[in-house]
Structures are given as structure tokens and as C-alpha cells.
A and B are shown apart, each in its own frame.
Chain A
């Protein structure tokens, strides 16, 4: 029944999806945290930048961002992100960059919702002890914000996993690109769809369950 799978590197394609997800997740977490820091920080210019960035990026389709990194950055400006002449590597990295640019806006907002659960008085008490802004953020606000943000961040991670399929538009050989190829060559359309759907569920379902448990475990009692 699953003969049509023969000759296709299904695992390899999903492995590429996992890699896209992991690299983009790490990058977005870092950049999104910095953005959140800017948005709640005391420097007006940074606040404006953070707010503008999030509102701008959130309202652009991901496809446009990924295409821009390929057409705009790579083909027009010659940005190669250290990929040399290997197009697969360059495209993979460009896709990760695009995914980070996009996803970090959502990480920022998830974190900000977490930050809003931390009572203002605690930050004030920390300032009153003599901690500076960076210390207040790092020691008091963010640890509690991350804990409260585990569930919204899980949603962002699940969305990111699915969004990696957009990397196909610039030819990154991840799962959905292989699916398109198989749909063109094979007859079992519904089955192919089901196999790929199942593959994605295998990736996202455990993410949701594990992060749900983690969220409960680390929750701050108030």
C-alpha cells in the first residue's frame, strides 16, 4: 500500500524540516527576547523600534519575507551568509534568516504577555534594592515571564514548525517540497497528503504536550 514511498527520502526531508525549525527557533528566541527587552525598556528610541518592528513584520506574509531574503538579499545584494557557492546551503540559511525575522515578532509578543503577568511592584522592589534595569529584567522579570510564556511560546513553536514549509518557495528541500514532487509523480494523492500530515503531527503534537507539562511544572505561584 505504501509502495509509492519507495525511492523518496522521506526521513531526509523531515530531517530538513526539523533542522529549519530548530535553528529558527533558537534564533527567534534570542532576537525575540531582545525585542521584548526593547519594548519594555526605558529607552524611547528602542521602544519605538521594537514596536514598529513587531507591527511591521507581523503584518507581512511569511512568503514575502522568505522571497525577499532570497531575491533581495541574495540575488540583488549578493548576501550569501557564508554559504560559499553551495546554493542548497545558501538557501537553507536564507530561509532560516527569514523565519527568524518573522517568528521573533511572535516570540516578542508571547514574552510580552508573560512579562505582563509579573506584578509591577516586584520590578519596583528590585529597583529599590539597587538593581539596574538589565539586572531587574534578567533576574526578576524575564525568569517569571518565560515561565508564564511557555504555553504561548509552544504555540509559536508549533506555528514555526508548520511555517518551515514556506522555505519550499526558495527551493529548500524540506518536507513540503518533497510532497509537491511526489504529488506530481504519483497517483495516491490522498495517501501522500495523509503521510505528510501525519509527519507534521508527529513533530508538533509532542511539542505541545511536553511544553504544556513544562508550563505547569515551572508556573510561578502567586
Chain B
């Protein structure tokens, strides 16, 4: 696990932020997560890659407990995931999540989407929350759309709003589950650029994506999953040019040849 010691120049990992130990999860008879051990250091960017159905989404969702686990442990910043109630809500606020399908609140304006969590969870003052929301929307390049509704924005714009919505909570770590898979090709880059900037700013990120360009330029590490297991972990260059496992070779040849 720790034989991969790639340090991105500007990242300053001090200690482990997310630690999964021996995590197992079943959906009925299906063993979706099998003995998962994964440690993510503060400031680290990890790309999770693997065939469809290998458990990548489930892995992400267990980290903020949208899915429960059957055995093993998950700790965030040294604290185990709480079971329910206030503690869990606080933890979820600390873990930002960006979904494939954006999931913006359709009946709220873009600005309201970004202030809601601050006001209702962080109990921030409404004025302060709005100022912060506008700053974040500017940062992801959709400041001009603040008063529109999600359906009025393009997919790329919606996904950038979703990133701003998660950032508004000042999370310790951000999870991205295939953030560009639902986008038209011409919108993929505008989202990846925002994520790249975020990585440069030192955000700890777990990103499920097949965008190799992003993995190469922004990730410290690539984690390859297949059939519920972590099959291989390596630095991006090493993984893409010289994968060790047959599963990874097979997978890469498929995504490279279409």
C-alpha cells in the first residue's frame, strides 16, 4: 500500500485524512467491497478507476456513509464514522460530494443551492452565506448565473455549481463520482479545469473518473478497482504506461482503444 511514495511538489501531506481498514460491504449476495484498505493523506488527490460495476461508487458513498458497511472501519481525520444523528450530519458536512448527475435542487436558484447547506447545517448568517456563495460561483465561473434555476444552465455549468455547493461547506475532503461522465464532450474540460485548480489549491480529493489527462496532471495516485477489490495502486505515469496486473492491462487496453 505504502510502496507508492509519490509526492506532488506543492502538496504538503501531513498525516492521514481518510483511512479505510478492511472494509467489506454486501448488497444481498453480492460482495461489492472486499477487504478494502485505503489511506488518503491530507492534500492528496487519488483517482479511482476500474470497470463499471467494480464498486467505485459504493466506495465513495461509504466514505460519507450514504451507504453503511458490514465490517471494517472508516475514519476521517482520526474520527470513526458516526452511526446516526447530529454527529453523522456534521461528518457529512465535512465530506463534500459531487455526483455524476449534478443533483442540484431544481426548485432553488443557483445562489440558494450554494447557501442552503451553509445556513441550515453550518448555521451561517444568510448575508455571509450569500457573499461566500457568490465568491465561490465566481471562482467556478458561473457567477453570472446566480439567480437562474438549474434547468436553465448547461450540464457543465450545473456541475460547476454542484462543486461550489460542496465547497461552501468547507469540506476536509471532496469526493467526485464520475463528475464528467454525464457531460457533453465540449463541457468536460470546463469542469476538469475547476477540479484541477482545486487540486492545486491543496484540497484532498477522491475522484472516480476515466479521464486520464486529469489523472496524469492532477493525481498523486491511481487506485485500480475490479470486482470489489483494489487490484493495483500506483503513480499515474507508472499505472498508465506500465500496469502490473492483467486486469488493469486488459481494462486500459479497452479504454484506450475506443
Contacts and interface: CB of A to CB of B under 8 A. Distances in A.
Interface of A: 119, 121-122, 124-132, 135, 139-140, 143-144, 147, 220-222
Given A124-B66, A124-B99, A222-B151, A131 B121 contact: yes
Contact of B101 (A121, A126, A130, A135): A121
Contact of A129 (B85, B86, B101, B117): B117
A144 B103 CA distance: 14
B103 A124 contact: yes
B107 interface: yes
23 contacts: A121-B101, A122-B103, A122-B104, A124-B66, A125-B97, A125-B105, A126-B105, A127-B66, A128-B64, A128-B95, A128-B96, A130-B89, A130-B117, A139-B116, A144-B106, A147-B107, A220-B107, A221-B106, A221-B149, A221-B151, A221-B152, A222-B106, A222-B151
Given A119-B101, A125-B165, 17 more contacts: A122-B103, A125-B99, A125-B103, A125-B105, A126-B105, A127-B92, A129-B92, A130-B89, A130-B91, A130-B117, A131-B120, A132-B86, A140-B105, A144-B106, A144-B107, A221-B149, A221-B151
A130 B169 CA distance: 9
Nearest to B91: A130
Contact of A143 (B64, B91, B107, B152): B107
Given A139-B120, A222-B151, A129 B165 contact: yes
- What are the 4 A-B residue pairs with the smallest beta carbon separation, nearest first? A130-B93, A121-B103, A125-B103, A129-B117
B79 interface: no
Interface in B71-121: 85-86, 89-93, 95-97, 99, 101-107, 116-117, 120-121
A130 B90 contact: yes
A221 B83 CA distance: 36
B222 to A, nearest CB: 24
Interface residues of B, number: 31
Contacts, number: 71
Interface of B: 64, 66, 85-86, 89-93, 95-97, 99, 101-107, 116-117, 120-121, 149, 151-152, 162, 165-166, 169
Contacts of A124: 66, 99, 103
Contacts of B105: 122, 125-126, 140
Contacts of A222: 106, 151
A131 B152 CA distance: 25
Q: Which of B89, B90, B107, B116 has the most CB of A within 10 A?
A: B107
Given A125-B97, A221-B151, A222-B151, A130 B103 contact: no
Contacts of A122: 103-106
Contacts of B106: 119, 122, 144, 220-222
Contacts of A143: 107
A125 B158 CA distance: 13
B107 A129 contact: no
A187 to B, nearest CB: 57
Contacts of A221: 106, 149, 151-152
A109 to B, nearest CB: 22
Contacts of A119: 101, 103, 106
A149 B208 CA distance: 37
A196 B101 CA distance: 53
B97 A128 contact: yes
Given A135-B120, A139-B116, A221-B151, A129 B93 contact: yes
Nearest to A128: B97
